[in-house]
A = this chain, B = another copy of it.
Amino acid sequence: MKNPTAAMLVIGDEILSGRTRDSNMHHLAVQLNAHGIDLKEARVVSDDTAAIVAAVRALAGAYDHVFTSGGIGPTHDDITADAIAEAFGVGIGVRDDAKAVLLGFLEARGAEATPARLRMARIPDGATLIDNPISAAPGFTLQNVHVCAGVPRIFEAMVASVLSTIVLGEPMLSQSFRVDLPEGDIAAPLADLAARFPELSIGSYPFNKDGVSGANIVVRGHDGAAVNEVMVELGHLFAEATS
């Protein structure tokens, strides 16, 4: 069985201007990896309808799942829900279930149900809601696109909620082996290993720390026995250069 594939779409000028450092991509990568879903691609686009529509169409067509983050708040620059509806050619409007959730939350806090806030109950036709345990305004899933908030705490809760409802794959097994030799010295034996174990991903990540040039060799795959076999071979190959 092949694992499901996924892509991420981060929406927001604030990432591309350097004002904010995105952390949702890393969180999603770790979560998907642990749940057996292969994250194949990520994109960041600005708060621009045409850019969002084009990216959603490209990614939804190429992968089993697309997770988006950002652009579903109450302000004028929050245009994600409308862009998703446009990408799939469906209508969008305030939906009773989303509105009820929102009104309950606002009422409990004595906050006014302004037209801006009610915009957050606008949901594309045919979507199912994603629970927001923190500030009520829901995300939604339309076809294979899971539309989540950008605020990290809310994004993380929404991802957990989506992961509890979709078909998962086999988690990737990963082991790491540190070699205190520059990459140029280990490249040839590593290439041999990679050719002999084509079902595994063998990556080399160089570092330079306290004057030592080395590399972390990361072996990833679904077959635990094969991963272990490579780890043993790495031990033999570089017995004198580990620490």
- A: which residues have CB within 8 A of B? 13-22, 25-26, 29-33, 39-47, 51, 73-77, 106, 111-112, 114-117, 119, 135, 151, 172, 174, 182-188, 190-191, 194-195, 201-206, 208, 215, 218, 220
Contact = CB atoms under 8 A, between A and B. Distances in A.
A51 B58 CA distance: 13
A114 B187 contact: yes
The 9 closest A-B pairs by CB, nearest first: A116-B187, A18-B29, A18-B30, A117-B184, A76-B191, A42-B44, A75-B204, A74-B187, A75-B187
How many copies altogether?
A: 2
Nearest to A134: B208
Nearest to A193: B76
A43 to B, nearest CB: 5
Nearest to A149: B206
Given A33-B18, A114-B187, A201 B75 contact: no
A2 to B, nearest CB: 15
A75 B184 CA distance: 7
A205 B41 contact: no
Contacts of A51: 40-41
A114 B185 contact: yes
Contacts of A185: 111-112, 114, 116
A198 to B, nearest CB: 11
Nearest to A39: B16
Q: Count chain B CB atoms within 10 A of each CB in A42, A106, A119 and give the residue with the most.
A: A42
Contacts of A112: 184-185
